[in-house]
């Protein structure tokens, strides 16, 4: 067995279909890693912004001051601050209309915050479905390349009268590289998906808890002319 069975030679000697599968999987893997790093930094930023706003919220700053700051920093605000701004905006609009019914005020504020919560969650979950698809589909794409490669290898051996391991091994090895690349693309995507799914669940729980706590504060402030403190 004097054939060069290095990975590079196996890739170069593979059939064009297997090479196309390998190229596709490498492209998917690169895109997947880019999505992983983007999501990693995005979730870290979301957590930092939420923690900073929550600390400011419970520091004793008035709701009106927090709302003014949230309106000023709308583009750079975190999800929690935008949810707060949505609820506060709806609450104040209803108060300006001279609506005094506590149920109507609270329902309006809650609906606004829930709608904002859903929008924020959709934004945080961007690229998550892509990672799930990469993790589930890549091994099968690699397997397709392997099956095609093995089929091509045995077709090429059909004209030989004597077949030995030395003649079979290179073709099979070329085909198996496709499966290896498929797994290389899938495993990081699956690990990252599970990690990000847990992190997003924590963010969702934090935001839902804030909605309930802020709703309780608004409920207590209904007796006042305007929500000026908490």
How many distinct structural domains can be found in the chain? 1
Task: State pLDDT tens for residues 59-104.
Answer: 988 888 999 998 888 788 999 999 999 999 998 898 888 777 778 8
Residue 30 covered by a domain: yes
In this structure, what token pair is assigned to residue 178? 């496709």
> Nearest Cα to 137, choosing from 20, 17, 32?
32
Residues 6 or more apart whose Cβ sits within 8 Å of residue 144: 21, 178
Residue 123 covered by a domain: yes
Residue 83 covered by a domain: yes
pLDDT at 213: 93
Task: State pLDDT tens for residues 112-151.
Answer: 999 999 999 999 999 899 999 999 999 999 998 888 888 8
Rounded to an integer, what distance in angstroms lies between the CA atom of residue 37 and that of residue 42? Answer: 8
Range of the domain at 40: 7-223
Rounded to an integer, what distance in angstroms lies between the CA atom of residue 186 and that of residue 33? Answer: 11
Residues 6 or more apart whose Cβ sits within 8 Å of residue 177: 7, 10, 11, 14, 18, 22
Rounded to an integer, what distance in angstroms lies between the CA atom of residue 133 and that of residue 103? Answer: 44
In this structure, what token pair is assigned to residue 125? 């979950």
- For residues 92 and 106, is the Cβ–Cβ distance under 8 A? no
Residues in the chain, overall count: 230
- For residues 150 and 171, is the Cβ–Cβ distance under 8 A? yes
Mean pLDDT in the chain?
Answer: 85
- The whole-number average pLDDT for the span 20-30 is 91
pLDDT greater than 50 at residue 227: no
pLDDT over 70 percentage in the chain = 83
In this structure, what token pair is assigned to residue 77? 């605000």
pLDDT at 60: 84
Residue 229 covered by a domain: no
pLDDT at 195: 96
Residue 100 covered by a domain: yes
Is the four-CA dihedral 101, 103, 104, 109 of positive or negative sign?
Answer: positive
- The whole-number average pLDDT for the span 40-50 is 95
pLDDT at 14: 67
Residue 153 covered by a domain: yes
Residue 228 covered by a domain: no
Residue 2 covered by a domain: no
Going from the C-alpha of 44 to that of each of 40, 129, 188, 200, the distances in angstroms are 6, 19, 19, 11
pLDDT at 73: 84
């Amino acid at each position: 067995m004097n054939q060069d069975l290095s990975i590079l030679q196996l890739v170069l000697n593979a059939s064009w279909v297997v090479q196309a599968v390998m190229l596709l999987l490498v492209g998917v893997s690169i895109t997947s890693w880019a999505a992983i790093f983007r999501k990693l930094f995005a979730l870290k930023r979301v957590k930092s912004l939420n923690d900073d706003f929550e600390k400011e919220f419970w520091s004793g700053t008035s709701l009106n001051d927090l709302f003014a700051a949230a309106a000023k920093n709308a583009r750079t605000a975190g999800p929690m601050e935008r949810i707060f701004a949505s609820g506060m905006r709806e609450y104040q609009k209803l108060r300006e209309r001279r609506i005094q019914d506590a149920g109507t005020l609270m329902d309006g504020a809650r609906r606004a915050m829930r709608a904002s919560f859903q929008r924020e969650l959709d934004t945080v979950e961007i690229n998550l479905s892509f990672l799930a698809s990469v993790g589930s589909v890549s091994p099968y794409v690699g397997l397709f390349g392997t099956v095609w490669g093995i089929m091509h290898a045995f077709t090429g051996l059909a004209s030989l009268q004597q077949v030995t391991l030395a003649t079979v091994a290179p073709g099979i090895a070329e085909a198996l590289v496709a499966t290896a690349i498929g797994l290389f693309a899938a495993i990081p995507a699956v690990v990252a998906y599970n990690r990000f799914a847990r992190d997003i669940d924590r963010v969702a729980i934090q935001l839902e808890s804030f909605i309930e706590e802020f709703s309780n504060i608004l409920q207590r402030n209904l007796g006042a002319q305007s929500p000026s403190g908490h």
